[in-house]
């Protein structure tokens, strides 16, 4: 069963000669891993990294520019000559504490020397048993910034559909020859959010269901967060109501089903077992700026709560307060190449089979 609070995607890199599976987190300002000796430690699948066995490992000192690039609330220094320490707390009392350091990083066949990361001596939480987090935020010490000279501040991903066992891809750099997109990439500008400057926001200017444009005064006047870690899309209350109303117009005569989890728009499709979710369900298009759009087909709109199709729900939820942040989650980003370009401050979308 899918957790509708978060969905985790994992990439394996080589750090300090050690294969390291990391959770991808576009909201994290720093890449970090568990290091020996640690107390507390959480159980992880791979052996914990031992910096004493890596000849290229180097701690970072407090009097360095790199240490000063740490956000002030995560930096901990005793003296200028001491080792730079970081502290990051997440929700649900999860945290990691340790030293800032550099080591050799290998991504595919590309070597990044002196990659900056956190070597965690005290780590609390499960983190799903992976070695740490890969930080892809817009901060000075995220992987995007630290590898800027190699990859130019560009990364992209293609997330596989939730109902397949295939793997997607994470690519760094702006080489379109590696993409397998089926449609041209359409770009929109990233919008600065003063309260969360390291995250990725865009201007949602319109939504259409099966080419019917929805009307809502908030469209075009409120930014929306792009987040691969959040499972589903959350819309403002009036926008969600417009989506729900237009969506149900395509299912006249179909009995509704009880709400499921956080979803209040559910249908009983048990009498329509030949239904093709990819082709018989109206598609949704989300429009950004003047040219960009994200197309979501049926498999990214519906969740089958009961295998007999008696409870099939729209996988979009509405915020209770218009001031809450709207978010485009990973469920609606599947089978799409999403390109982040921090140099030009743009975000691009193209259809692609990701599995």
Active-site residues, by number, are 25, 227
Token output for 319: 């915020």
Residue 190 · residue 202 · CB < 8 Å? yes
Strands 85-89 and 75-76: antiparallel
CA 311/CA 332 separation, integer angstroms? 19
Residue 32 · residue 120 · CB < 8 Å? yes
Burial classification of residue 54, based on how many CB atoms lie within 10 Å of its CB (0-12 exposed, 13-18 middle, 19 or more buried): middle
Token pair 């009036």 is found at 238
Strand partners, 157: 170, 338
Residue 273 three-state SS: coil
The strand ranges marked E within 136-275 are 154-158, 169-172, 186-189, 201-209, 212-213, 223-226, 233-235, 256-257, 266-267
CA quadruple 272, 276, 279, 282: dihedral sign: positive
Say whether the peptide bond before residue 37 is cis (omega within 30 degrees of 0).
yes
CA 299/CA 207 separation, integer angstroms? 18
Strand partners, 286: 207, 294
Nearest partner of 207 among 298, 293, 269, judged by Cα? 293
CA 182/CA 335 separation, integer angstroms? 10
Residue 8 · residue 229 · CB < 8 Å? yes
Residue 152 · residue 64 · CB < 8 Å? no
CA 129/CA 107 separation, integer angstroms? 21
């Amino acid at each position: 069963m899918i957790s509708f609070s978060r969905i985790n995607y994992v990439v394996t890199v080589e750090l300090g000669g050690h294969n390291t599976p990391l959770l991808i987190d576009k909201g994290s300002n720093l890449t970090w891993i568990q290091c020996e000796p640690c107390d507390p430690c959480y159980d992880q699948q791979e052996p914990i990294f031992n910096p004493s066995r890596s000849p290229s490992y180097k701690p970072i000192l407090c009097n360095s520019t790199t240490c000063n690039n740490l956000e002030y609330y995560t930096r901990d220094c005793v003296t200028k000559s001491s080792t730079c320490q970081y502290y990051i707390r997440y929700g649900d009392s999860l945290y990691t504490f340790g030293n800032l350091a550099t080591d050799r990083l290998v991504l595919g066949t590309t070597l990044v020397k002196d990659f900056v990361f956190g070597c965690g001596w005290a780590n609390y939480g499960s983190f799903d048993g992976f070695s740490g987090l890969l930080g892809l935020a817009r901060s000075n010490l995220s992987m995007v910034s630290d590898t800027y000279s190699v990859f130019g501040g560009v990364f992209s991903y293609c997330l596989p559909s939730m109902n397949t066992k295939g793997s997607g891809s994470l690519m760094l750099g702006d080489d379109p020859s590696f993409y397998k997109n089926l449609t041209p990439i359409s770009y929109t500008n990233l919008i600065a959010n003063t309260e969360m400057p390291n995250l990725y926001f865009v201007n949602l200017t319109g939504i259409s269901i099966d080419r019917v444009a929805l009307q809502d005064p908030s469209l075009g006047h409120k930014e929306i967060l792009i987040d691969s870690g959040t499972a589903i899309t959350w819309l403002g209350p009036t926008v969600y109501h417009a989506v729900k109303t237009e969506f149900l117009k395509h299912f006249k005569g179909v009995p509704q089903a009880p709400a499921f989890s956080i979803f209040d728009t559910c249908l009983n499709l048990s009498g329509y077992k030949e239904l093709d979710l990819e082709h018989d369900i109206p598609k949704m298009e989300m429009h950004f700026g003047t040219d960009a759009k994200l197309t979501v087909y049926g498999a990214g709109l519906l969740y089958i709560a009961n295998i007999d199709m008696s409870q099939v729900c729209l996988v979009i939820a509405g915020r209770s307060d218009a001031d809450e942040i709207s978010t485009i989650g990973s469920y609606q980003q599947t089978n799409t190449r999403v390109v982040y370009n921090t140099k030009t401050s743009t975000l691009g979308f193209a259809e692609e089979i990701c599995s």
